[in-house]
Structures are given as C-alpha cells and as structure tokens.
Structure 1
Amino acid sequence: MIKAAGAVLWREADGDVEIALVHRRRYDDWSLPKGKLDRGETIPACAVREVEEETGFSCVLGRHLRQVSYSVRGTAKTVDYFAAEAVSGTFTVNDEVDELRWLPLAEAPALLTYEPDREVLAEFARLPADLSLVLLVRHAKAGKRSEWDGDDDLRPLSDAGWRQAAALRSLLPLWSPTRVHSAPRVRCVDTVRGVAEDLSVELVEEPRLSEEGYWPDPEAGLVRLLEVATEEGRAVVSSQGGVIPSMVQTLAEMGGLRLDEIPCKKGSTWLLAFTRPFGTWSTSDSPSRWPALVSAYYVASALPRP
C-alpha cells in the first residue's frame, strides 16, 4: 500500500476564494498538490510538507475532504486530501512543478486533468472554506486503572503516554489551534499541556467534559463543547474514552452526518468541523440554531509512520 496526502490550497482574494493548481512537468498534467509519505511521517504532516515543496506556500490545515484510492502499476495507493489555507510564501519552479496558477473556485475544475481531483474540489466547494474546528483528543496512555493505588484522577501518563503526548505536540499545531481545554484529570491535562505551553496560552479545565462531569447531564456537556467550538480561534480539547464516542455520535446525528464507527484509541484525535452559527448564538436557542457538525475525521495516532 502506497500512502500519500495532499490538499486543496486556498486563499481569499477580493472576497472570493482562489485555489492553487500545479502543473507537473513529468506528467504534463494539472493537479492538486500531493505526494507520498516519508518514513516517520503522519498523513497530515505529509500534506503540509508536500504543499510547501510543490507550491512554496506554508499552510494551515482545515477539515479532511476525502480519501482517493487507485492503483499504480498494480500497487494500491491512497491519497488523503485536506483543505489548507495559504498563510505565506511564493511559488518558484522546482523539480516537480514548473507552473502554479491561482484560480477562482468556480474556474478551477476545468483546468484539472483528473476526475478524482475534481471530486475532491467539489467536496471542498460544498462547504465554506473557513469552518470552526475542534481537535478532540483522547488522553494518552496512563497504565491500567487496576494497577494504580491512588486517586484515579491523579493517575499519570505512562512512558508510552508521554511519547504520545510529545507526538501530539507536533501534530496538533498543523491546524494552528489557539486555545487548549481539558477535562480536569491529570492524564487528560498532561496529554495537551505541552501544546498549551508552546502556544503560551492558559489551559482551561472543563469539568463537564470528564466522565464524572458528562454523564449526569450529557446535554450540558454537549452544549459546553459547542460553546468551545464557537469561541474565537480553533480549540484543542482533551477528554476521555467514556465521553468522546457519545459526544461525536450525538453531534453527527444532530448534523445529519453518517459515521459507520467511532473509534477512540488513547492518544487519538477527532478533527471536528462545524458550521458557524448565524448571528449571535446562545445555548437557550433551539438546537436547530446550534453549530452543526459537518465533517469528522479520525487520526488514530499522532505517532509518525515507522
């Protein structure tokens, strides 16, 4: 299996959205920037690196768009595409790309050579480019509850858990979060503490998003997550395996989003994208006015590919 990643690279221009398409000299085609994973690299990190190598632009990832599958000389290949906003840079001719064009979103499909690229672009165009994002993280490994004699709230990360937390410290900034929230348990806080330190922001504790805070009143916990989603900037939220599947399932049902399964490994992340509510939103509003979950992508591990 060949794994690759890429992005729909976009920017705002005079109130419109423009898309970057690249011409590859070797194939004489127009495509979306993409490339194969390097050893020791995650899929999101590959998407960011390939965008910069092919286009010269640094980018911030947005929602996951779709995975494309095809065969290359008898070997299966998958390419995961994300939305990605260009934040800085300039194009120069390189070994793979000899031309880049910024085109209005409506004009870009006509230039693309391959139908799967047009399908990816159609998925990008289906929703606004700039959505509210929450990176919902299950805490990293913390050993077995049965082997810890102290207060379970104080159970610390294991050595493997600290490695997962370090990997999250590299992975989560690809989406440029500006806020970090966590259930109060030590293992939840320590999983994302490094991210907060790197951002120089205060870590906000969220009692409603712990197992003991969520289950007495799941609706209140869900509302609190939606409040976090609507605040300025993107958020990292660290919670527990007894909470995350319920929240993701309920949000998906409310948003009309079909999820066949909701895995939740320790150290994993759900990338949740929400529509922005119109006008001023209040938790007293009808649920139909609440932010709607429109995309959910599961990152099973922040640890790089061996």
Structure 2
Amino acid sequence: MTLRQAQGTNRQAQGTNRQEAVEVVRDDKAVYAAGAVVWRLTAEGKLRILLIHRTKYHDVTLPKGKVDPGEMLAQTAVREVREETGIRVHLGVPVGVSRYFMRPKRQKVVHYWAAEATDEAIRRSAFVPNHEIAALEWVSLKRARKNLSYPVDLEILDEFERLVDDGVLRTYPIAVLRHAKALSRSEWDGPDAGRPLTERGHRQSEAIVAPLRAFGVRRIVTSDAVRCVQTVTPLANAIERTPVMTELISQDAWEDGAADLRKVVGKRVRSGKPAVICSHGPVLPGILSELALATGTMHGSYLGSASALEVGAFSVAHLSATNPGSGIISIETHVPKI
C-alpha cells in the first residue's frame, strides 16, 4: 500500500501558507495499523476526544488496529474505531503517522485521522467493556495529554490541536479518482470512450469502495466514458446513489478543448458535500488546479503529486466546512495494490 500526504493551511488573512509533503511506502518488515482521534462537541460547544482503556495492556491510548489482508489504510481506521468503540465515523483530515519498534527490527507504523463522532453515532454504539477494551472516556485535550500512556500519541495530538487552533477541524472531502485499469487502445476496435475495464480494473473498482466510504463520500460525478462509469459503479451500488455522468470532464472533451472542469469542480466545492470526481489521467491535473483555484489555495508541487495517479488510485482533498477561506487543508493519495 502507498499513501502520500500533503498538508497545508492556507491562511489568507495572514498571507502565509504551510505545505509539507510526506510519502510513505510499504516496508514488508513493518507492521501497519491505522486509527483516529475521535472527537465531538458537547451541547455547550466544548471539544472532547475519545480515549480507550485497554484491558490487556492496562494503558490509555487512541483507537487503532492492524491492517487486515487486502485492506487500505483508511478502511482499517474506520473499521478499528467501530470494533473498539462501537462508533461509526467518517475520516477527516490526516493527523500524522507514529512509528515505534515492537521488538528489535520490527517497526509498527500507525496512520491517524481526525474523525468526528456524531451524537447519533454515539447513541447507536453498543459498546460494553470486554477482554480488549476496559472502558471508553471522553476528555478534554488537556486531560488527554495527562492520561495518554505513550509519547507517540501525544505527537498525534499535537497535529490534531493545530487543526483546532486553525479553526479547520470540521472538514468535508472531495476525492479525485482516476479510472481503474481499462483495455488498451490497441486491444479495442471501438471509440475510445467505449473502452471497458479489464478484469484487474474490475477488482480495483471493488477494492476502492470501502476506502472511499471511509471518507463519507455520498455524491459521485464521473466522466461519461465507459471505463469511468464502470469504475464508480460498485461504489454507487454500495451507497445507493446514481452517478452524475458528464462529458465535461471526459478525455475526449479535454482533447477537443470542450471540457469545462471549472463548472464541475466549482459546483462540488459550493455544495460543501463529500463527493468523488472520476476522470482520466490527462484531465486530473486540470481538476486539481481548478480545485485549488475554487478554494483560493496557493499552487505548489503537492498538486502535481496529487494528480499523478496510478489507475484506480484517488486523492482526497479536505476542505474546511466552517472556514471557506482556509483553502485546501490537506491532500492525501491512496493507491490500491491490485
């Protein structure tokens, strides 16, 4: 698995922009895991985060767990939060990676995201103390710093608190997806827009369903080319939504100078709703550029990295739901290894 992250807080009022890029490539000697800083606001508007008290280790930590075979990291984070706390969450901004050694030469790498727990999700939790988790505890950031057992968790909390201080904790995602593996032009006699997915492409389209759902995607916009429509069909079936098919982001329209990326991207940004936009490799840089323009975000090399996607891969841009002037808060890229 590969996960690239670029984080930036675009503070137009102060005229500053912070960008940092991190690329994490799987090391077969490492153990990979994922989790979240789960947070909520009380009726009085006070921020609380969720800590877990583990039975076996007699410690206090953040919810997390190891990646199951075939899982992508975002999928793992959501599953582990639910298994350990009973709470269903959608992922927000990534808040860091912790690394530590379980034993000599055996490193554990844990990816974390911020994740808001809604009141409804908390009410639906059926958590009871068990042989793994002794208790759950909602605490303030100050109390969390005193209670957490490990320094690596405090480092994750530092990044989380920066989001709080910047006023950009609550976000919504726009995922930009490159279609899965399709038949090559040499293998296809019909029009280019009619090229279907290969067997591998269909596997890729299934593999990205859970990771995209982890970010709460509820709207799907796709190029009307067959390979794009087939890529998003499993996701559309899973979330019971009909994709919006448009030639405005198709490769044919882009090559003919008839595309209108600005119209499509602008509508998605204005909606403020979690969405995925599926298009073609040559079109993706323009889509990411329009996303930066629509949010007032400074351009940088991170846009090139986020748009240089393998087939079936997607980049998630996190936008502030409460502070539109903050621009793109973070971009992360997910690659299915199929």
**TM-score tier after normalising by the smaller chain length:** 0.7 to 0.9
Residues 152-161 or 45-54, more deviating: 45-54
Could you list the per-position Cα deviations for residues 137-171 of structure 1 after superposition, in whole angstroms to 9, with x for gaps in the alignment? 11011021222111001111111111111222333
Q: Does 1:296 align with 2:331?
A: yes
The structure 2 residue matched to 1:62, chosen from 84, 92, 95, is 92
Listed one character per residue, the Cα deviations across residues 88-108 of structure 1 (whole Å, up to 9, x for unaligned) are 314321222212110134542
CA distance in 1, matches of 2:162, 2:251: 35
Q: Distance in 2 between matches of 1:243 and 1:211?
A: 7
In the alignment, does 2:76 pair up with 1:46?
A: yes
Give how far 1:39 is off.
2.3
Secondary structure of the residue aligned to 1:101 is strand
Structure 1: stretches of 5+ with no match in the other structure: 280-288
Larger RCO, structures 1/2 (Cα 8 Å, 6+ apart): 2
Q: 1:247 to 1:51 in 2, by over 3 A?
A: same
The code of the aligned residue for 1:126 comes to R
Distance in 1, Cα, partners of 2:95 & 2:190: 44
Partner of 2:315: 270
Deviates more, 1:137-146 or 1:108-117: 108-117
Paired residue type of 1:255: T
Question: Matches of 1:70 and 1:249 in 2, distance apart?
Answer: 37
**Which range moved further: 208-217 or 41-50?**
208-217
**Where does residue 265 of structure 2 map in the other structure?**
225
Contact 1:4–1:35 (8 Å) recurs in 2: yes
Is residue 121 of structure 1 aligned with residue 141 of structure 2?
no
The reply to whether residue 261 of structure 1 matches residue 305 of structure 2 is yes
Q: Of the candidates 73, 77, 81, which is equivalent to residue 108 of structure 2?
A: 77
Q: Distance in 2 between matches of 1:34 and 1:7?
A: 7
**How far apart in 1 are the matches of 2:270 and 2:130?**
40
Asked whether the 8 Å contact 2:193–2:252 carries over to 1, the reply is no
Whole-Å Cα distance in 2 between the matches of residues 188 and 118 of structure 1? 42
Does 2:137 align with 1:97? no
Greater shift in the superposed pair: 182-191 or 223-232: 223-232
Contact 2:90 2:214 in 1 (8 A): yes
Is structure 2 residue 214 aligned with structure 1 residue 179?
A: no
Partner of residue 188 from structure 2, selected from 126, 137, 148: 148
C-alpha displacement of 1:124 = 2.3
Please tell me whether the aligned partners of residues 177 and 277 of structure 2 are also in contact (alpha carbons under 8 angstroms).
yes
Which residue of structure 1 lines up, in the alignment, with residue 247 of structure 2? 207
Pick the aligned partner of 2:198 from 143, 158, 163.
158
Q: Quick one: distance in 2 between partners of 1:39 and 1:278?
A: 38
Provide the rounded CA distance (Å) in 2 between the counterparts of 1:232 and 1:246: 20
Secondary structure (helix, strand or coil) at the match of 2:78 reads helix
For the structure 1 residues 26 and 252, does the alpha-carbon distance in structure 2 shift closer, same or farther, using more than 3 Å as the test? Answer: farther
Distance 1:267 1:13, change over 3 A: same
Distance 1:62 1:129 in 2: 8
Instruction: Provide the aligned length of Structure 1 versus Structure 2.
Output: 292
Distance in 2 between the 1:246 and 1:272 partners?
14
The verdict on how the C-alpha distance between 1:114 and 1:233 changes in structure 2, with shifts beyond 3 A counting, is: same
Length-normalised TM-score, structure 2: 0.77
Opposite residue 235 of structure 1, the aligned amino acid is: A
Q: Is contact 2:171–2:322 with CA below 8 Å preserved after alignment? A: no
Amino acid at match of 2:318: A
Q: 1:110 to 1:214 in 2, by over 3 A?
A: farther
**Stretches of structure 2 lacking an aligned partner (at least 5 in a row):** 1-29
1:5 and 2:34 matched? yes
Shift of 1:214: 4.5
Distance 2:155 2:47 in 1: 17
1:84, 1:214 → 2: CA distance? 36
Per the normalisation by structure 1, the TM-score is 0.84
